[in-house]
Chains A and B, each alone.
Chain A
Amino acid sequence: MIPGWKALALAGMTAASMTVSSLVSAALTSAVAQPAAAPSAGAQPAGDEDADKLLEKYRAMISDPMSNPGYLAVDSGEALWTTARGPKNATLETCDLGKGPGKLDGAYAEMPRWFADAGRVMDAESRLLWCMETIQGLDTTALRKKPFASSGGNPATEIEALVAFVANKSNGFKYAAKMEHPKEREAVALGEALFYRRSSLNDFSCQTCHGQEGQRIRLQNLPFFDTAKAAQATMGSWPTYRVSQASLRTMQHRIWDCYWQMRMPDVGYASEVTVALAAYLTKKAEGGAIEVPSIKR
């Protein structure tokens, strides 16, 4: 369970209590604690278009590495990558992300992918955990239990920082996860089945909210992934620094968050389910440019 407030959830009730400018200043001063999620129905922002414009300006303002708070995570990820740690006192610099040991450039653009040594299709998060375990001999149990930083300006967790660092090394690359291995193809198909699988107290599936072009929940536009452009723009912008949560967030977190909105119990971190959904969406985003960490509301 992630404590802290959940802006922009289907709830549509938390974001309402904050204006964009207060979000912006909260993010700029970074460590400002967020208000508790008092379920106050009713109050709504006065015009989301204005909010969008403000956010656009804000994004432009801090799109350079010097001021996007997401880059703090990239930096700490780099430190984690190059520091000898764990019982084996090793760095992660021999970690093979699919393009050979230590080859970082463009590796994220080809994930998720099949890893013969692990016998699994892995996304960046699963693979990094695997490297921490096998190369450094680290016990990742605690990290798997609490993989995401609490909202409100807390530093990224180790795994979030590492993903930010690794993903950032694919900037300028285009998504090229081929998904040709039978197990990769299976992951994409499993992700597709999961996308349409309805469950829980509101009968939701991913399709409920992302099943048609141009729809929105409250005032939030919902990406429709069958449109290549939308899939590319989405997948090419994660990990992202979420202003509303004042935190660097990864694709695993986004999927966890959407299952939370679906009233599902917490989905297993780096489970076959979350990796398959990421594989399905990444396949749809093929050819899309990567520019991360981005910044979103």
Chain B
Amino acid sequence: MLRILLAATAATLLASAPLGATEPKTSDLKTSAGAEVAPGISRERLEQAVAAAWKNLPPDMQARVVQDETMQLCSQYRNSPPPAVADAILAREKKNVAYPADGKLMGDWKAGEKLALSGFGGRMGDNPKLPNGGNCYACHQLAPAEISYGTLGPSLTGYGKIKGNTPEVQKEVYERVYNAQAVFACSNMPRFGHNKFLTMEQIKDAVAFLLDPASPVNK
């Protein structure tokens, strides 16, 4: 909870920062090969080392190594982008959210619980035919009975009890899980839908796990 508050405070501070003072030059908004990513290290130099360490890969694996623009910016600014960069990231990532055709955003909380517990998927050696997990418990406290939870993200225990499950809240949570950076630029949370790590169905199940009154998260 404290972390949520802190994040909110930080967001307010950023939003109210006087224009001009911390505003980057337009040229900073774009990632460029020459941008410094560490003292004396240009992005070009960094990427040259990366390319040498991950060589001769099939296209799907090569794609994992290469950064998209959001990753580049978040890396360059160490996850604290200046306000104008943050706005640009939010705008781009918002456009990326896709919604189920039938408009239903809540799935099955039981399936959601399973996927919250599973960290399977995407690692070398993981069978790509088996479903990926969302691994929410790696970072979040959820159902109070589950004591094996991580603390990289805020506690989500009682999330639906606190927020309700109106269509607006469902949409908010769906978007958050689909693309955390559509809500919070450079969030440490994976962009599950955007990266096609979870399917829309799985994301709906995660939403249900958080918001369904019958879910252990809200007991």
With an 8 A cutoff between CB atoms, is B38 at the interface?
Answer: yes
Structural contact, B46 and A190, CB atoms closer than 8 A: yes
Q: Is B50 an interface residue (CB 8 A)?
A: yes
Which one of B98-106, B133-141, B205-213 is at the A interface?
Answer: B133-141
B53 in contact with A271 (CB, 8 Å): yes
Per-residue CB proximity of B146-169 to A under 8 Å, as 1/0?
111111100000000000000000
Specify which chain B residues have a CB less than 8 angstroms from the CB of A276 in the assembled complex.
49
Q: Which residues of A contact B71 (CB under 8 A)?
A: 198-199, 203
**A202 engages B195 (CB within 8 Å):** yes
Q: Does B84 contact A (CB under 8 A)?
A: no
Instruction: List B contacts of A45 (CB < 8 A).
Output: 148
Give 1 or 0 for each of B68-104: 1 = CB within 8 Å of chain A CB: 0001001100110000000000000000000000000
Q: Are B67 and A199 in contact (CB under 8 A)?
A: yes
B65 touches A265 (CB 8 A): yes
Shortest C-beta distance, B146 to chain A (Å), equals: 7
Kindly name the residue among A9, A202, A209 whose own CB sees the greatest number of chain B CB atoms within 10 A.
Answer: A202
Query: In the complex, what residue of chain A is closest to B55 when comparing beta carbons?
Result: A268
Q: Is the CB of B138 within 8 A of A10?
A: yes
Distance between Cα atoms of A11 and B67 in the complex (Å): 23
Distance of A280 from chain B, by nearest CB (Å): 9
Pairwise interchain contact B123-A265, C-beta atoms closer than 8 A:
no
Assess A200 versus B64: contact at CB under 8 Å? Given A42-B117, A268-B54: yes
Instruction: Give the Cβ gap from A143 to chain B, nearest Cβ, in Å.
Output: 18
**Chain B, residue nearest A203 (CB):** B190
A264 to B54 alpha-carbon distance, docked (Å):
9
| CA gap between A105 and B34 in the complex, in Å | 42
Does A202 contact B149, Cβ atoms closer than 8 Å? no
Question: Interface code B9-53, partner A: CB below 8 Å = 1, 0 otherwise?
Answer: 000000000000000000000000000011111000110011011
Stretch of A69-77, A214-222, A281-289 with 4 or more beta carbons under 8 angstroms from chain B: A214-222
B38→A41 contact, CB < 8 A: no
Q: Is B176 in contact with chain A by the CB < 8 A criterion?
A: no
Does A189 reach chain B (CB closer than 8 Å)?
yes
Contact flags A121-156 to B (C-beta < 8 A → 1, else 0): 000000000000000000000000000000000000
Q: Is B122 positioned at the interface, with any CB of A under 8 Å from its CB? A: yes
> Which residues in B have their C-beta under 8 angstroms from that of A205?
75
Q: Mark A196-210, 1 if CB is under 8 A from B, else 0.
A: 111111111101110
Could you give 24 example pairs across A and B, Cβ below 8 Å? A1-B125, A10-B119, A11-B118, A11-B123, A12-B119, A12-B135, A13-B118, A42-B117, A44-B147, A190-B38, A192-B39, A192-B41, A193-B38, A199-B71, A208-B152, A209-B152, A219-B149, A260-B124, A263-B64, A263-B123, A264-B64, A267-B53, A272-B53, A274-B53
Residues of B within 8 A of A (CB): 37-41, 45-46, 49-50, 52-55, 57, 61, 64-67, 71, 74-75, 78-79, 114, 117-120, 122-125, 130, 133, 135, 137-139, 146-152, 181, 188, 190-191, 195-197
